[in-house]
Structure 1
Amino acid sequence: MVLATFLWGTAGVVTRQIEYAQGFETTFWRSAACALALLVILPAWRGRGAWARVAWGDRSLWLSGLCWAVMFTAYMVALTLTGVARVLVTMAFGPFLTALLARWVTGRPLPGRTWAAIAVAGVGMAWMFVGQIGQTTDARAWLGSIVALGVPVAAAINWTVTQRSQARGAALDLVPAVLLGAVISCLGVAPWAVPFAASAGDLAWLAALGVGQLAIPCVLAVLCARVLPAAEVSLLGLLEIVFGIALVWAIAGEVPRPEVLRGGALVLGALLVSEWLGWRGRAARARRVGQSVL
């Protein structure tokens, strides 16, 4: 999951290389590249008959695909309406929404460490961008925040759907849902993407985003969601923002503000402590089971 968030975080560095494509066109080509990559990856990975084994009639598959489409699209649309900082702060609500939804739908209690990590990480994310938000009253900016809220809401539903499927012991494969999401996103923004202005270089960078920043990490995230609690998947997803800032700083030379460094330290600290406590708890339970067997 950490590797997936690192790959997601490369978007900022790569988009710095794009010269002509903007807004909906970048979403269109990125989603199209993601869909084409998955059309190759899934049969190569699952072998012959991969498509025949997909549960096309299952509502959970289509719901997950729709969630991926919203996540792929809402972020870029929000950026056309408001600033990056406001969008990222809105996305920080993801773990909180996921924890509440997963608790309500699955009935699975959340450990105290997860709630504490969510709270601390949320404070850290707000601190990272508080100096850049401003007190704007522009209607477009607030509309952008509302659109950006679609990202954490869709993510919360998506991870909960995956978790519920696993909790019921269902053998449902939700990896093809990423492909469905890419196709829905591509078709959904197509009317607003024309006329196309991307150069050959732009298309190469957007193809790299579709494969390395969407297709591969999203498949990894689905696989991780099979074994990690939904709230933990969403919490680890916050690392995308930390990695994105770090990569832009190291490669593009954009030095972050002091509050970004301090807030990022809170996010990383919350994640590390939460994972360490979880590891200790699992190790202790394993030892008790081993002793009872003996």
Structure 2
Amino acid sequence: MTHRQGIATMLLVTLLWSIAGVVTRHLDSAASFEVTFWRSAFNAVALGVLLAVLRGPRAVWATLRGGGRALWLSGLCWSVMFTAFMVALTLTTVANVLVTMALGPLFTALLSRFVLHHRLATRTWLAIFLAGAGIAWMYGNELLHSDARALAGIAVALAVPVAAATNWTALQYSRRHGADQAGGGDMLPAVLIGALISAATTLPLAAPFQATAADLGWLAMLGALQLAVPCLLCVAVSRVLHAPEMSLLGLLEVLFGVLWAWLGAGETPAPSVLAGGTVVLGALALDAALGMRQGGAVEGARARA
């Protein structure tokens, strides 16, 4: 996968991730931990099938047994992301959850700088700053006037960018040291580990089950299409994109998610959301364009060599 293909794939990943908020607004009876349990359970089933096809059952089992600490750390991070995100959506608005998650690029940049010693390009720092300013512009007023339940949702959602930053850094570490690990640094099964941990930890809290057949259909779709497929693609993308770059592109989930909530659930964005969103899109477009140009130049130099 080339750098340009990695960027395009990450855009698809964020588009698929972004549908969770609007779908949860159409659930009939399922609530909080039950929603999280069913989505994670369906995610685990879909991942089991996909990994069996991609890797084969024996290879997946061998990786789970000998994948090392990075694999299990990544799996734990996925479980936190899966669980905290859905619980937060049941406590506060889609916008509040997504804006909190937008802290991810800053956390990721700092963590990768100190753990992996990445020297980030000036364009990436600039894009992170501009995107953060745009996000603050979009939702600063709303966050200041949130009630106690909404603030609790924001606090839960804060676990998502922290876990995501740790996860992207773990993935990058695995790529760097994969040759020294049993399983060759294969991190795809980490997503399955995360889904299983999330389902197991929320199962006792999910009772009594109240989901209707329609709810289960929506949650099955989320588990497979909104989680399993994009998360596997995300792990593959980590081979060609740096952690801060992945996290920065992931900010598009904020914009896509707000758009879906607007069109599909009637959560109309304020003018400040539209203005701030323009800043975010501009920052992402600038960083992606310069990154693609630099990636293309590197690939051209390699070809000539």
Do structure 1's residue 54 and structure 2's residue 63 form an aligned pair? yes
Instruction: Give aligned-pair identity as a percent.
Output: 55
The answer to whether the 8 Å contact 1:67/1:155 transfers is: yes
Do structure 1's residue 248 and structure 2's residue 248 form an aligned pair? no
Do structure 1's residue 152 and structure 2's residue 161 form an aligned pair? yes
Alpha-carbon distance change, 290 to 19 in structure 1, aligned in 2, over 3 angstroms: closer
For residue 252 of structure 1, report the CA deviation from its aligned partner.
Answer: 4.1
For residue 157 of structure 1, report the CA deviation from its aligned partner.
Answer: 0.5
* Residues 129-138 or 179-188, more deviating: 129-138
How do 1:154-233 and structure 2 match up within 5 A? 154-170=163-179, 171-233=184-246
Alpha-carbon distance change, 278 to 174 in structure 1, aligned in 2, over 3 angstroms: same
In the aligned structure 1, how far is the partner of 2:299 from the partner of 2:189? 34
In the aligned structure 1, how far is the partner of 2:238 from the partner of 2:108? 12
Give SS of 1:197's match: coil
For residue 141 of structure 1, report the CA deviation from its aligned partner.
Answer: 4.5
Alpha-carbon distance change, 84 to 254 in structure 1, aligned in 2, over 3 angstroms: closer
Cα-to-partner distance string for 1:244-281 (whole Å, 9 max, x where unaligned): 12223334454321111111111111111001111222
**134, 140, 164: which one aligns with 1:130:** 140
For residue 17 of structure 1, report the CA deviation from its aligned partner.
Answer: 2.2
In the aligned structure 1, how far is the partner of 2:156 from the partner of 2:22? 23
For residue 52 of structure 1, report the CA deviation from its aligned partner.
Answer: 3.7
In the aligned structure 1, how far is the partner of 2:61 from the partner of 2:93? 43
In the aligned structure 1, how far is the partner of 2:237 from the partner of 2:12? 11
* Paired letter, 1:226: R
Give SS of 2:154's match: helix
Give SS of 2:186's match: coil
**68, 71, 79: which one aligns with 2:81:** 71
Aligned residues: 291
Q: TM-score, normalised by structure 1?
A: 0.92
**111, 114, 117: which one aligns with 2:121:** 111
Provide the residue aligned with 1:44 in structure 2: 53
Q: TM-score, normalised by structure 2?
A: 0.89
The answer to whether the 8 Å contact 1:33/1:206 transfers is: yes
* Paired letter, 2:234: A
For residue 76 of structure 1, report the CA deviation from its aligned partner.
Answer: 2.4
In the aligned structure 1, how far is the partner of 2:297 from the partner of 2:235? 28
For residue 2 of structure 1, report the CA deviation from its aligned partner.
Answer: 0.6
Cα-to-partner distance string for 1:201-228 (whole Å, 9 max, x where unaligned): 1101100000000111111111111210
For residue 48 of structure 1, report the CA deviation from its aligned partner.
Answer: 5.3
In the aligned structure 1, how far is the partner of 2:236 from the partner of 2:299? 23
Alpha-carbon distance change, 290 to 37 in structure 1, aligned in 2, over 3 angstroms: closer
Alpha-carbon distance change, 9 to 83 in structure 1, aligned in 2, over 3 angstroms: closer
Give SS of 2:169's match: helix
In the aligned structure 2, how far is the partner of 1:166 from the partner of 1:16? 38
For residue 144 of structure 1, report the CA deviation from its aligned partner.
Answer: 3.5
* Residues 93-102 or 37-46, more deviating: 37-46
In the aligned structure 1, how far is the partner of 2:140 from the partner of 2:158? 18
Provide the residue aligned with 2:130 in structure 1: 120
Q: Which runs of 5+ in 2 are unaligned?
A: 1-9
Cα-to-partner distance string for 1:63-119 (whole Å, 9 max, x where unaligned): 000000000111223344444443333211100000010111111211011111111
The answer to whether the 8 Å contact 1:42/1:50 transfers is: no
* Residues 168-177 or 184-193, more deviating: 168-177
Give SS of 2:239's match: coil
